[in-house]
Structure 1
Amino acid sequence: METNRQPVIILVRPQMGENIGAAARAMLNFGLTEMRLVAPRDGWPNPKAIAMASGAAGRVLDTARVYPTLAEAMEGVDYAFATTARGRELTKPVFTPATAMEKARAHEGRSAIIFGPERAGLENDDVARANAIVTVPVNPDFPSLNLAQAVLLMGYEWGREHLPPEPAPQGRRPAGEVPADRIEIEKLGDHYEEKLETAGFFFPETKAPAMRLNLRNMWSRLSLTRGDVQILHGMLRQLTRR
């Protein structure tokens, strides 16, 4: 992602260093790196923010710029989204996070996402400086998101275009492991069926055909390697050894 195409994240009057650090982590999760702070309550730099940023996200804080007012923090920004859960008297377009970030990606200039202080959110004077409002469609009985959650949500919607379309596959076999072929799976099923027959597992006799069928179906569903098959044969031999 080109840095000059990323939206700027502006935190207005943030109250806790821990929340600033958590917001930096949320930003970097989705490749956002430019943070601007407006009059942070406890000053800047803040050691609690650095501790919460935890490693790599510290570089977001290292380059964060501090401004006395929101108006000054919007330097170089030509389209801004104000995040708020409360209704406003101001007439502005209201978007969901997905729609807002779609517009940000299509916008040729520099955009910004503005977040308010933890306790009360943005004031009307802050929202008035934005072009549009972003509101998350959440449970109306509990609409509040904490600062880092809100940043994470917007970052995710921004990064969706650049993220893999599906999660990374889990459970990949290590290099060098060979999948068991169907004959090997068939012989494994034969081995287990033989020993289970000896042990009297297929009882009563009227249910035995369905039990055998279910076992065969189970073996065919498993993604076994040749090594797995050898282990399962060995386990069974050990269990049935007199």
Structure 2
Amino acid sequence: MMEANAETGNRTEARAPLIAPAIVLVRPQLGENIGFAARAMGNFGLRDLRLVSPRDGWPNDKARAAAAVADVIVDEAKVYDTVEAALQDLNFVLATTARPRGMVKEVLSPETAAPALRARALSQERTGVMFGGERNGLDNDSIALADAILTAPVDPEFASLSLPQAVLLFAYEWRKAEKPEGLGRVTAFDGPAQEGVAAPDTRPATRAELFGLFAHLEGALDEAGFLKPPEKRPAMVRSIRNMFHRMGATDQDVRTWRGIVSALTRRSTPPRA
């Protein structure tokens, strides 16, 4: 779609609306903290609030009161039973934690995460940032579902942030980040080049596609006896999933890997008599 520049009369490409990150609160405890987090979101242009199993149920009057003029964000919040369900439509997810938990993942600060997510948003990717509950933060299984870790440069002697503080810190950096400009020359046939890997005929995989691959692959590995002994299975599964998150899989990558798993399992099945 083209639009005219009022001052010069030149025609330029109309840019699609920016898709801001979803804020995913995993098992939040206090309604007030949900409301304050929503208020922080509203201050800096974030609207997509997702809640996973809020302790005190939903809807919550205390959350709505604490949100003040951002009560519309609370009213429009979506509630999910599981972390996986809350992330289904997202292409790239950050998990907030004060320590890497022994996982091999890229670590970003709010200052570096905001422009990175903005660049993805400009490519029409859907992104999200997960925050854990007030008492213990995110558990390892939730962090394993993310592509990278988000942590703030806080005083190591007093590293704990409240839930609304953590949301505010990221939301401020999101708002402050400048939109990156395209690279190269714009032509009638293509847009400006962007930093990163060019993949014109594919797109980043959604969480739903990755979760389907994980179920397919892990089922095959269980059948083959790879994920043993049982007590080591959870850690092995997390390591496998983190490998796929690090590669930044596309939808085509997921289809290829599922084809590989299907081919190998068919070949390993003895022919019928």
Mark yes or no: TM-score above 0.5.
yes
1:124 and 2:137 are equivalent in the alignment? no
1:81 and 2:97 are equivalent in the alignment? no
Alignment check: 8 A CA contact 1:118 1:147 kept: yes
* Equivalent residue runs for 1:71-110 within 5 Å: 71-107=84-120, 108=123, 109-110=125-126
Tell me what 1:158 maps to: 174
Instruction: Give, in whole Å, the separation in 2 of the partners of 1:79 and 1:112.
Output: 7
Write the deviation string for residues 59-112 of structure 1: whole angstroms up to 9, x where unpaired: 001110000000000021010000001231111000111111111001120100
The normalised TM-score by structure 2 is 0.57
Write the deviation string for residues 23-54 of structure 1: whole angstroms up to 9, x where unpaired: 00000000101100000001100111011111
Tell me what 1:28 maps to: 42
Instruction: Give, in whole Å, the separation in 2 of the partners of 1:154 and 1:12.
Output: 16
Instruction: Give, in whole Å, the separation in 2 of the partners of 1:12 and 1:71.
Output: 11
The normalised TM-score by structure 1 is 0.65
| Counterpart code for 1:141 | E
Tell me what 1:236 maps to: none
1:51 and 2:59 are equivalent in the alignment? no
Tell me what 1:7 maps to: 21
Instruction: Give, in whole Å, the separation in 2 of the partners of 1:146 and 1:9.
Output: 15
Instruction: Give, in whole Å, the separation in 1 of the partners of 2:171 and 2:100.
Output: 23
Tell me what 2:165 maps to: 149
1:5 counterpart SS class: coil
Instruction: Give, in whole Å, the separation in 2 of the partners of 1:148 and 1:4.
Output: 24
Instruction: Give, in whole Å, the separation in 1 of the partners of 2:16 and 2:160.
Output: 32
Write the deviation string for residues 158-208 of structure 1: whole angstroms up to 9, x where unpaired: 001369xxxxxxxxxxxxxxxxxxxxxxxxxxxxxxxxxxxxxxxxxxxxx
Show structure 1 runs of 5+ residues with no match.
Answer: 164-242
1:37 counterpart SS class: strand
Alignment check: 8 A CA contact 1:4 1:110 kept: no
Show structure 2 runs of 5+ residues with no match.
Answer: 1-14, 180-273
CA RMSD of aligned residues (A): 1.7
Aligned residue pair count: 162
| Counterpart code for 2:86 | A
Larger CA Rg, structure 1 vs 2: 1
Distance 1:144 1:18, change over 3 A: same
Alpha-carbon offset, residue 2 of structure 1: 7.3
Alpha-carbon offset, residue 136 of structure 1: 0.4
| Counterpart code for 1:139 | D
